[in-house]
Amino acid sequence: MRQGHTLPELAIALTIVGIVTSITVPAIAGVLDRLALERAASRITTALAVARSRAVLRAGRARLSITPDSLRIEELDDGWVTVARWPGPASDGVTLSASNPVVTFDPIGLAWGLSNTTIQLSRKSYSATITTSRLGRVRRS
């Protein structure tokens, strides 16, 4: 009657586990990069929608300040007052480039300013672009 495994059997099993791990780890890393980018993009589009909704619902101005470290929603009430905050893209290891780091919405939901805002996010070989039009519409590509 045999109890346990022999040393060669254990060595073969560990070798197989090592080979499978070396094949799957790079693929998993790519998936993790893509998920981090998706999470950061989702946070920004949500923050834009919340800022626009607050401006319309409160019939006042609201703005979203976009920095690598934080996404901050502020309302105009005798000066700008912070009402909500989320972690920025840097918390997910995502780099950020924004044509306008502050997007302000007026009481009817239109973006205040001269042009559309384009936000570029990237992590390793993955990238996403978020564009906010003057009408307050958010488009992601």
**91 contact partners, CB below 8 Å, separation of at least 6:** 69
**Cα torsion angle, 60, 97, 43, 83, sign:** negative
Residues in the chain predicted with pLDDT less than 50, given as ranges, are none
Domain 7-140 has CATH 3.55.40.10: yes
Global pTM reads: 0.81
* Cα–Cα distance measured from residue 24 to residue 135, given in angstroms and rounded to the nearest whole number: 45
Listed residue (124, 133, 129, 123) closest to 141, CA to CA: 129
| pLDDT of res. 1 | 61
| pLDDT of res. 27 | 77
| pLDDT of res. 51 | 96
| pLDDT of res. 114 | 67
